[in-house]
Structure 1
Amino acid sequence: MEDKYNQLRLERYSKELANLLCDRHFAAHDTINGPQLIGFTPIKQINLFVIKELLLKWHHEMANLRSPYFDYEHEEVKEALLNFMNVLSRKILIKRDAFEPLLQKAIYDTFLLKLAPAATFEEKFLRIQEEITLPKLQENLKYIDLDKALFSGFVGTLSPSNRDRDYILSRFRLYLNANKESIAPLSELVATFNSLLPITEEEICQAAPQAPSLAAYAAKPTPAAPVEEKDVVAPIHMAQREASAPVAAATRPAAVADSNLNERFRAERPTMNEKFSKPVSSSVADSLSNRKIESLKNSISINQRFSFINELFDGDNMTYYHTIQKLDEYNNPDEARHFVLHELSHKYDWSKKQENVSKLIRLIERKFA
């Protein structure tokens, strides 16, 4: 049920909007930090995708710390690295030249989530995983805002034994076809983007005109087979596209060029993810989970922070910050727990969010340990 869309127009629009938003922010700031990142645009999905890409790059950098001269499998080294990663995640500081490409891709991917949900599911849920597990798929739901019920509903149909990428993707396509009515119309998203930079639904959905060369007709007298859905999504590299497009058009068929481009992107992404560091052993995690902390504000990692903001405070980052600040001011653990379990839980209806509430309570217990 993937809709046809004008990829070139979307990439151009994503680049223009990213440039516009960066002009506004960096006219008054030299960098952007974590709190500014959370609400950088009024479109929550863009902000979430920026964070997701940032975390991928962050894990990639941590994986590159591996060295043949030191024992990175030693428990003390693993513990030190985990502490370092948690501290680093709370010290985000990005300059424009590094942030703008992240923002551009997040804008493009936000459109793609509506236009090509199966391709989005493959990239955001399946392609980045070294090993597919149900908890990892559920973890990725934190970075979905548009049509979240659709993605969440599908993940809820899977069992822990579902680990095959192709099988899961084929099931997701069937699930999409059976739940078309639950998907919000593209016009709603376009209206939101229009408040930032004008664009029409017709511009997005109108296929880009193509003029195949004579060589393409000679090489393939019959129409080429459509590209598979899983090849739809690819990272945005405008500079490469603009520099190479004229040469490619003159020397080889457009269909072949697109195919090779997709293959290159598909080859790049798994290579990056294959370099991810191995999960920290349970013994290290258990040791860290029992360690005393000085404050909640400085001990909640960026991943946990976004989970709390999205799941407990309905995406309201200011309410989250004020709440954590108030909890840090308590001098008695019983009073802090009462505030969470009775006042906040009733106010925000946390009856079905026990996992995150339990994590917050555990942090409070570590603060007063």
Structure 2
Amino acid sequence: MNKINFNYLENYSQSISEKFCSKYFETKKYMSGQEIIQLTPSQQVNLLVIKALFSAWQDELEKLKSNPYFDYRDIAVDNSLKEFMNILSRAIKVERVHFEPLMREAVEDALLLAIDPVTFFIHLIEESKGDRNYFKDTKKYIKWHTDLMGTLMDKSSMGASSSELKMALRAKYENEKNKMERYDRLLEPLHQVQKIDYTKLVEQNDTGSIQEERKTNALDAQETPPVESAEKFATDSTDSSSSTHNQHKAASSEKAIDPALAWARFESEEYSIIKGSIGNLSESVGINQRFMFTRELFQGNADLMKHALQSIDRCDSFVEAVELINQRYVEELDWNKNSDEVNEFLQLVFRKFEQK
């Protein structure tokens, strides 16, 4: 499996999105649906922009259905909503300030899909929330690695759980990985617009032209080391024993997260929507969450966040995981325990250990 430098991925996505948007919006104020389809030389990127718009519509629809005064299960209402959506899809009109974030997200997803399809599709599994029709509805937006998408469609239609879908996905990938199209070929249309430095974007595990390019340019490809390395904050210890106290600055009583209060909060009805166990945190964090946590909680250090997730995965309970977080990260990285980012991070930890 290829290891992605998410900092480079995010910066590249932002840069090329600005380039596409600057060229388009130089003469036009709004982006239409038909123009999105033809916006970039990468059909996959264009379709992922449309997918982002569709997801935004679905979010709005769910908010509408939460209104307690109307029966949205009524057949006539359901048919009317579908017709409304069809009409709305023909009336897409987006200004740059709203379009550029969608564009950036689409490029990020396209890079991830090309280089690390397993992580991309795991994100889709989490996004599906058990909806059997999700993969059928999403298929039209995915043009790369369609065999993996087909596996998820088949297994989901048979009622497979989230964990079963992930197992089937990994098994299919292992069987097909040597026959899958190389990511540099998939990304060539973007590379032609703005060069992708693969030696910085990804560490190679296979052989081929990109690996040879990496060897040739090894000295130029060295990344600037992070201000503070992951080793300062994390050790190979699998628990929060006394040895950890000697290497980390534990959170003060005022800053520390109370595991009992956090557990009670997530057990409450207010957070019932997040229920549903997940497996390894290191494999289940979605791409957007990964960017947010890296930037807001781990000082832009993707390796540090990855090590933190792996350390939490080795814990045996929610309480042990929170104590580890208090010992290693809250004080060292100046976390605000009441922030939305910390709250969302703890929600994921809770879902991993909700039965413990």
Calculate the TM-score normalised by the size of structure 2. 0.61
Query: How far does the alpha carbon of each residue in 1:267-322 deviate from its partner, in whole angstroms, 9 at most, with x for none?
Result: 69xxxxxxxxxxxxxxxxxxxxxxxxxxxxxxxxxxxxxxxxxxxxxxxxxxxxxx
Given residue 19 of structure 2, which amino acid in structure 1 is its aligned partner?
L
Alpha carbons 2:6, 2:291 under 8 Å: kept: no
Given residue 197 of structure 1, which amino acid in structure 2 is its aligned partner?
Q
The 1:229–1:98 alpha-carbon spacing in structure 2 relative to 1, beyond 3 Å, is same
1:149 is displaced (CA, Å) by 3.8
1:104 is displaced (CA, Å) by 0.3
1:323 maps to none
Instruction: Give me the whole-angstrom Cα distance separating, in 2, the residues matched to 1:164 and 1:242.
Output: 31
Instruction: Give me the whole-angstrom Cα distance separating, in 2, the residues matched to 1:36 and 1:262.
Output: 39
The 1:214–1:113 alpha-carbon spacing in structure 2 relative to 1, beyond 3 Å, is closer
Alpha carbons 2:30, 2:95 under 8 Å: kept: yes
2:183 maps to 186
> Counterparts in 2 of 1:109-124, with a 5 A limit?
109-124=109-124
1:247 is displaced (CA, Å) by 10
Alpha carbons 2:152, 2:165 under 8 Å: kept: no
2:287 maps to 233
2:12 maps to 13
SS of equivalent residue, structure 1 residue 42: coil
SS of equivalent residue, structure 1 residue 179: helix
1:48 maps to 47
Given residue 113 of structure 1, which amino acid in structure 2 is its aligned partner?
L
Alpha carbons 1:216, 1:253 under 8 Å: kept: no
> Counterparts in 2 of 1:310-349, with a 5 A limit?
none
1:74 is displaced (CA, Å) by 4.5
Instruction: Give me the whole-angstrom Cα distance separating, in 2, the residues matched to 1:220 and 1:118.
Output: 36
Q: Which of residues 225, 230, 242 is equivalent to 1:212?
A: 230
Q: How many residues align?
A: 257
Instruction: Give me the whole-angstrom Cα distance separating, in 2, the residues matched to 1:16 and 1:29.
Output: 20
> 1:151 and 2:176 equivalent?
no
> 1:264 and 2:318 equivalent?
no
Structure 2 residues without counterparts, runs of 5 or longer: 204-221, 236-242, 248-279, 305-328, 349-356
> 1:173 and 2:253 equivalent?
no
1:5 is displaced (CA, Å) by 1.2
Instruction: Give me the whole-angstrom Cα distance separating, in 2, the residues matched to 1:94 and 1:60.
Output: 17
Instruction: Give me the whole-angstrom Cα distance separating, in 1, the residues matched to 2:58 and 2:179.
Output: 34
> 1:65 and 2:90 equivalent?
no
1:91 is displaced (CA, Å) by 0.8
Instruction: Give me the whole-angstrom Cα distance separating, in 1, the residues matched to 2:232 and 2:155.
Output: 48
Alpha carbons 1:190, 1:200 under 8 Å: kept: no
1:83 maps to 83
> 1:104 and 2:104 equivalent?
yes
Instruction: Give me the whole-angstrom Cα distance separating, in 2, the residues matched to 1:53 and 1:263.
Output: 25
Alpha carbons 2:9, 2:108 under 8 Å: kept: yes
Instruction: Give me the whole-angstrom Cα distance separating, in 2, the residues matched to 1:52 and 1:62.
Output: 15
1:156 is displaced (CA, Å) by 7.0
Q: Which of residues 197, 201, 209 is equivalent to 1:200?
A: 197
Cα RMSD after superposing both structures: 3.7
Instruction: Give me the whole-angstrom Cα distance separating, in 2, the residues matched to 1:174 and 1:247.
Output: 32
Given residue 202 of structure 2, which amino acid in structure 1 is its aligned partner?
C
SS of equivalent residue, structure 1 residue 138: helix
> 1:138 and 2:121 equivalent?
no
Alpha carbons 2:297, 2:341 under 8 Å: kept: no
Alpha carbons 1:215, 1:252 under 8 Å: kept: no
Higher relative contact order (CA 8 A, sep 6+): 1
1:62 is displaced (CA, Å) by 2.1
Instruction: Give me the whole-angstrom Cα distance separating, in 2, the residues matched to 1:164 and 1:37.
Output: 34
Alpha carbons 2:33, 2:93 under 8 Å: kept: yes
Given residue 47 of structure 1, which amino acid in structure 2 is its aligned partner?
N
Given residue 59 of structure 1, which amino acid in structure 2 is its aligned partner?
Q
Given residue 142 of structure 2, which amino acid in structure 1 is its aligned partner?
I
1:59 is displaced (CA, Å) by 1.4
SS of equivalent residue, structure 2 residue 28: coil
Instruction: Give me the whole-angstrom Cα distance separating, in 2, the residues matched to 1:216 and 1:267.
Output: 21
The 1:182–1:232 alpha-carbon spacing in structure 2 relative to 1, beyond 3 Å, is farther
SS of equivalent residue, structure 1 residue 103: helix
1:72 is displaced (CA, Å) by 4.0
2:24 maps to 25
Query: How far does the alpha carbon of each residue in 1:323-368 deviate from its partner, in whole angstroms, 9 at most, with x for none?
Result: xxxxxxxxxxxxxxxxxxxxxxxxxxxxxxxxxxxxxxxxxxxxxx
